[in-house]
Amino acid sequence: MTTEAKTPLLERIPYQAILLGACAAIAAALLLGVDNATREPIAQRKMEDLQQSLAQVVPDDLHDNNMVAKPLLLTGTDGKEVKVYQGTKAGNVTALVWETVGFGYAGEIRTIIALDPEGKILGTRVLSHKETPGLGDKIEAAKDDWITKFTGLSLGNPPEDQWKVKKDGGQFDQFSGATITPRAVVKSLHAALQFFAAHKAEMLEVKP
């Protein structure tokens, strides 16, 4: 009899190694399997969420295509890829939607903006932000109608030097007690309009 046999199974190093390895292997296998099974549905859900966001800024009767299907890929001013979703009706571009990012008091403010082919804002909504509740969160459409006031504006309306919050000498209201948040949103929308001006031709071209 070797002394090894006297050691209880649970205390043997090889057993422990195999146990830990087996656990990790089973966990990995499970994760792989479930990831495989859920990848399709998750992508599908994401698409539906996106469609919902798009529907907030582009009225249904303005387009007859699936806007999510074939996004246009452009390069943003920061070198990152920008996905532009085109709304078309009877083969003509009627709406352009993409996401623009501003930097507020507490990190990124992601905003979705929709323009008509002339560059007028069809609508804009804040998708996500981390601004202070009760102060900066008035940029949400659910809390305040501030964000809806951009509808109908464009790069020249108001004039270039008015695309600022009132505190900076522009025409947009800031909220009492919070200037940084609306400033960030106004700035990012303004940048989006400039982005449109720079890429107008590409954006208005209908993809086959």
Cα 130 to chain centroid distance, Å, stands at 14
Residue 8 or 91 having the CB closest to another protein? 8
Structure tokens at 91: 């083969």
Of residues 43 and 69, the one with the C-beta less far from another protein: 43
Residue 88, beta-bridge partner list: 93
Q: Which positions lie near another protein, rule CB under 8 A?
A: 10-11, 15-16, 19-20, 23-24, 27, 30-31, 34-35, 37-38, 41-42, 45, 48, 132-135, 167-169, 176-178
Residue 98 tokens read as 């993409």
Cα-Cα-Cα-Cα dihedral sign, residues 178, 180, 181, 183? positive
Nearer to another protein, 16 or 151 (CB): 16
- Least Å from the CB of residue 47 to another protein: 11
CB of residue 96 vs another protein: minimum separation in angstroms?
27
Contact call for residues 191 and 100 (beta carbons, < 8 A): yes
Other beta carbons less than 10 A from residue 5's beta carbon: 7
Whole-angstrom Cα distance, residue 183 to residue 167? 9
Beta bridge partners of residue 142, listed in sequence order? none
CB of 112 to another protein, least distance (A): 17
Compare residues 7 and 148 and give the one whose CB is closer to another protein: 7
Tokens, residue 52: 């919902």
Residues contacting 184, CB < 8 A, separation 6+: 102, 103, 104, 105, 109
Query: Least distance in Å: CB of 34 to another protein?
Result: 5
Query: Which amino acid does the sequence have at 198?
Result: A
Closer residue to another protein in complex, CB, 149/167: 167
Find the shortest distance in angstroms from Cβ 160 to another protein: 16
